Structure 1
């Protein structure tokens, strides 16, 4: 263990952290370029075979960057894509980025450190950093943007230079240290533990932009919102956001146990997709049949069709989403975990004046507004399980097989759970049970650590 790491774990102040030498290498979950073809022709692309945990070189810090000692991180689906080398190996992103030259060249390496969430302590700041200091406790937004690109100042996600940190860049958050731009940082909510704080921003921020932002569906009081995958990271934060906005969340889940957990989050209507045969590829004709069944259930429970459909599932659900949303309604999408090629009957879009809104992560202002809701206790973390960094393969495999609910956390430098709280009074007021709604003793056996 390096002296800097020891100082971080001892809770050292800024001056002591500044005195300690940055180590030449650090422990990280990573992929190797040489492994990119291992799943060719393989049906089960088991991510435990491609994910490695080992030492990697410490990168040089650019003027607008900070070095963060990562106390905790979490698993997102982009780590599943990365570890399967699909739809393309992420080394393609790193090579393209590296061709820009300068500090960008650092990212083109024969290894790729993954991870798009982190909570930790700043241990170094670049010479161009103004708003952050060594010793600050921070959480990291997943979006890296080019602040010299004009459109970034209207909406950072629109910039051609925006990248998903830890997916389209190197030196991600599933490691003992990470390099991020200062423009990715937000203050860590003081009442949350490291692992709780690290589980939120990518998924909750994405859901915030999709539902609340004026760049998304902009839901309002009383809106009926259909949420696919309501027990997952994105969906479970969507349930909370809809409830906080005064809407009526209708969640679709894959099991009765997940239905129970989603109801505990406040979901007004929960539909088990198995009851109406939703799963796998869906033709436009199937979408109409399944959409009619789903629409009848939603009208029976709420009295009307949904104003908004929250869809990140993609191929298996998108045609149903377009069909089932009401006239003039909105389908908002941020991903396609079951496939990117969507089919739907366009008559139900144009003749019923519906809208499809594409959404990708969130800009820093939206991330900041979302983070504020956690600081106020309006949103709570959705951890269901926490793994040590050394077991990252098992953690990502859990998400790959959809055997989790909410978010799967990863301890990096934090030696155990429960650390990092600097506002215990607020934590006590909110209450442990509310802060950990998915971690009760009755938690689903789908979230245990049994092998596949």
Structure 2
């Protein structure tokens, strides 16, 4: 163990942190360019075979960057995409970005450190950093932007230079140390542990932009919101936001054990998609889409009395046509991803003749992320952590997400030696209560693939 790591784990303050040199190498979950192609022709692209944990070199720090000692991180689906080298190998992103030259060239390496969430401690700042210093407890946004691009100043997500850190860039968060831009950082919620904080920002802020922010569906009191995959990392935060906004949350899940977890979140209506004849992740035929849409619509009307104003869809090909069909006249389908496939098919008659809208959404700009993070800091939103793995077992953690055998968020301890550390406001934590802070903890223990 290097001296800086030892100092951090001993509770070193800002001055002491600065006296220790950065290690020249650090432990990280990474992919190897030499492995690209290993899954060609393979049906089960098992991420445990492609994710490596080992030493990688510490990169040079740019003037606007910060080195964070990562106490904990979490698994997002983009790590699954990265580790399956699909739909494209992420090394292509790194090579393309390196063409800008300068500090961007550092990212084009034969290894890719992945991970797009982190909670930790600032240990170094570049000379251009103003608002952060060594010793600060932070969470990292997944979004890197080009601050010299005009579109960034209207909405950072519109800028052509916008990238997702740890997916389209190197030096991600599933590691002992990470390099981030200062404009990615926000204060860690003081009442949360490292692992709770690390499972929040990417998915919660994405859900916030989709549903609450000015760039999304802008839900309001009384809105009926249909949420596919409602116990997933995105869906479980969406349920909380709909409830906070005074809406009616209708959650769809794929198994009975997930339905019970969803009830813990306070979801108003819980629907097991197997009960409407919708099993598996394959795309239904056009005729089957309408049939399933009618079944789902009848069930929602039976329990709520009306059709949904908004459908929250990140599942993609298996659900999108049904989403367009089932949302009410004038309603909105908002989408941020396609975990079952990107090739969406829907009957356009039900869209144009009923004045429905499809709204694309991607991550969140820093203002939206700050608004979302504030809700956690106030205790108005809760983490949805269900399982925690050590960094050495990151392959198992990612496999759990890849095979959809998880609920909520799957955390990964990096430098933190155990769970439960990092709380600096125990009074607020006690006031909120452990049960409310962890509604999905142990709600659905991992089960073998294929078992509900």
Task: Provide the rounded CA distance (Å) in 2 between the counterparts of 1:285 and 1:133.
Answer: 59
Residue of structure 2 equivalent to 1:412: 414
Of the three residues 376, 400, 407, the one matched with 2:378 is 376
Task: Provide the rounded CA distance (Å) in 2 between the counterparts of 1:450 and 1:49.
Answer: 20
Residue of structure 2 equivalent to 1:13: 13
State the 1:444 CA deviation.
2.1
Of the three residues 359, 375, 389, the one matched with 1:387 is 389
SS in 2 for 1:72: strand
Normalised TM-score (structure 1): 0.98
Task: Provide the rounded CA distance (Å) in 1 between the counterparts of 2:233 and 2:408.
Answer: 4
Task: Provide the rounded CA distance (Å) in 1 between the counterparts of 2:250 and 2:428.
Answer: 31
State the 1:447 CA deviation.
6.0
Residues 403 and 449 of structure 2 are in contact (CA less than 8 Å); yes or no, is this contact kept in structure 1?
A: no
Residue of structure 1 equivalent to 2:157: 157
Residue of structure 1 equivalent to 2:268: 268
Residues 122 and 134 of structure 1 are in contact (CA less than 8 Å); yes or no, is this contact kept in structure 2?
A: yes
Give CA deviations for 1:52-83 in whole Å, capped at 9, x if unaligned: 00000000000000000000000000000000
Give CA deviations for 1:329-375 in whole Å, capped at 9, x if unaligned: 00000000111010000000000000000000000000000000000
Residues 120 and 139 of structure 1 are in contact (CA less than 8 Å); yes or no, is this contact kept in structure 2?
A: yes
Give CA deviations for 1:412-440 in whole Å, capped at 9, x if unaligned: 00000000000000000000111111114
Residue of structure 1 equivalent to 2:430: 428
Task: Provide the rounded CA distance (Å) in 1 between the counterparts of 2:357 and 2:285.
Answer: 20
State the 1:8 CA deviation.
1.1
Residue of structure 2 equivalent to 1:446: 446
1:242 aligns with 2:267: no
Normalised TM-score (structure 2): 0.98
Residues 347 and 449 of structure 1: CA distance in aligned 2, closer, same or farther (over 3 Å): closer
Structure 2 unpaired stretches of 5+: none
State the 1:185 CA deviation.
0.2
Task: Provide the rounded CA distance (Å) in 1 between the counterparts of 2:284 and 2:190.
Answer: 45
1:401 aligns with 2:419: no
Of the three residues 317, 320, 330, the one matched with 1:318 is 320
RMSD, matched Cα: 1.3
Give CA deviations for 1:374-398 in whole Å, capped at 9, x if unaligned: 0011100000000000000000000
Residues 49 and 231 of structure 1: CA distance in aligned 2, closer, same or farther (over 3 Å): same
Task: Provide the rounded CA distance (Å) in 2 between the counterparts of 1:448 and 1:161.
Answer: 41
Residue of structure 1 equivalent to 2:190: 190
Residues 449 and 417 of structure 1: CA distance in aligned 2, closer, same or farther (over 3 Å): farther
Residues 68 and 177 of structure 2 are in contact (CA less than 8 Å); yes or no, is this contact kept in structure 1?
A: yes
Task: Provide the rounded CA distance (Å) in 2 between the counterparts of 1:285 and 1:58.
Answer: 55
Task: Provide the rounded CA distance (Å) in 2 between the counterparts of 1:154 and 1:10.
Answer: 43
State the 1:249 CA deviation.
0.4
Residues 39 and 84 of structure 1 are in contact (CA less than 8 Å); yes or no, is this contact kept in structure 2?
A: yes
State the 1:134 CA deviation.
0.7
Structure 1 unpaired stretches of 5+: none
Task: Provide the rounded CA distance (Å) in 2 between the counterparts of 1:297 and 1:182.
Answer: 48
Task: Provide the rounded CA distance (Å) in 1 between the counterparts of 2:77 and 2:226.
Answer: 21
Give CA deviations for 1:264-314 in whole Å, capped at 9, x if unaligned: 101000110111122311222221110000000000000000000000000
SS in 1 for 2:416: coil
Task: Provide the rounded CA distance (Å) in 2 between the counterparts of 1:447 and 1:410.
Answer: 19
Residue of structure 2 equivalent to 1:218: 218
List structure 1 runs of 4+ shifted beyond 4 angstroms.
447-451
Residue of structure 2 equivalent to 1:27: 27
Task: Provide the rounded CA distance (Å) in 2 between the counterparts of 1:355 and 1:200.
Answer: 28
1:177 aligns with 2:177: yes
Of the three residues 341, 366, 369, the one matched with 1:367 is 369
1:46 aligns with 2:40: no
Residue of structure 2 equivalent to 1:338: 340
Residues 431 and 328 of structure 1: CA distance in aligned 2, closer, same or farther (over 3 Å): same
Residues 385 and 447 of structure 1 are in contact (CA less than 8 Å); yes or no, is this contact kept in structure 2?
A: no
Task: Provide the rounded CA distance (Å) in 2 between the counterparts of 1:34 and 1:310.
Answer: 38
Residues 190 and 377 of structure 2 are in contact (CA less than 8 Å); yes or no, is this contact kept in structure 1?
A: yes
Task: Provide the rounded CA distance (Å) in 2 between the counterparts of 1:183 and 1:445.
Answer: 36
Deviates more, 1:114-123 or 1:272-281: 272-281
Aligned length: 449
Residues 191 and 377 of structure 2 are in contact (CA less than 8 Å); yes or no, is this contact kept in structure 1?
A: yes
Task: Provide the rounded CA distance (Å) in 2 between the counterparts of 1:135 and 1:88.
Answer: 38
Residues 384 and 447 of structure 1 are in contact (CA less than 8 Å); yes or no, is this contact kept in structure 2?
A: no
Residue of structure 1 equivalent to 2:91: 91
Residues 415 and 449 of structure 1: CA distance in aligned 2, closer, same or farther (over 3 Å): farther
Task: Provide the rounded CA distance (Å) in 1 between the counterparts of 2:388 and 2:170.
Answer: 23
